[in-house]
Amino acid sequence: MKQKNNLRQAFTLVELLVTIAIVGILASITVTSFSNHKEKARDARRISELQSIRDAINLYFEENGSFPNNLNDIASLFDNTLPKDPKTNLDYVYVKINTTPPTPKGYCLLAILETVQSSGDCSVSINGSSEPKRYIIQG
C-alpha cells in the first residue's frame, strides 16, 4: 500500500531571505533614480526662470536704453516677486558688465545647477572659487 506524504509545500527560509534581498536591492535602485529626477527637475526650473529673467532684462533694455542696475529694477515685470532658486530660495546672480555709456556691453545671469554642466562665457566667481556646475546666460 502506498503511503500518502502529508508534508505541506512551503517556502524555505533561504528562499524567503533571497526574495527579501532582491526586493530591497530593487527598492534602493528606484529611490536613487527618483532622487536624480528631482534634481534634474529643479535644474530645468532654474534654466527656465533664468530665460524668463533674460527676457525681462531685454524688455527693460528696449524701454530704457540701458540694462537694469540690479534685478529689483525688473521686479515689476514679475508682479514684484522675482524668481528664486527652488532649493535654496536664494536670488539668482545678476552682473551688469561695463556700465559706461553710451555702449552698454551686457550682463550675466548665473544659477548653480545640481546635475548639468556649465554653459556660457561669463567668468563668475562665487566665494572666491569657480563653481563647476553652473548655468550662465550672457546678454
Q: What is the pLDDT of residues 118-129, one digit of tens each?
A: 555 455 444 444
Is 17 a residue whose pLDDT tops 60? yes
Tell me if 126 sits within 8 A of 136, measured CB to CB.
Answer: no
Higher pLDDT, 130 or 7: 7
Domain boundaries, the chain: 13-138
Q: What is the pLDDT of residues 68-126, one digit of tens each?
A: 988 999 988 888 889 999 999 988 888 888 656 665 568 888 888 888 655 554 554 44
Rg of the chain over Cα atoms, rounded to whole angstroms, equals 27
**Does position 19 have pLDDT exceeding 90, yes or no?**
yes
Look at residue 119 in the predicted model and tell me its pLDDT.
Answer: 55
Residue 106: the pLDDT is 81
Helix (H, G, I), strand (E, B) or coil at 111: strand
Cα distance between residue 56 and residue 76, in whole Å: 10
User: If residue 35 lies in a helix (H) or strand (E), which one and from where to where?
Assistant: helix 13-64
pTM (predicted TM-score): 0.66
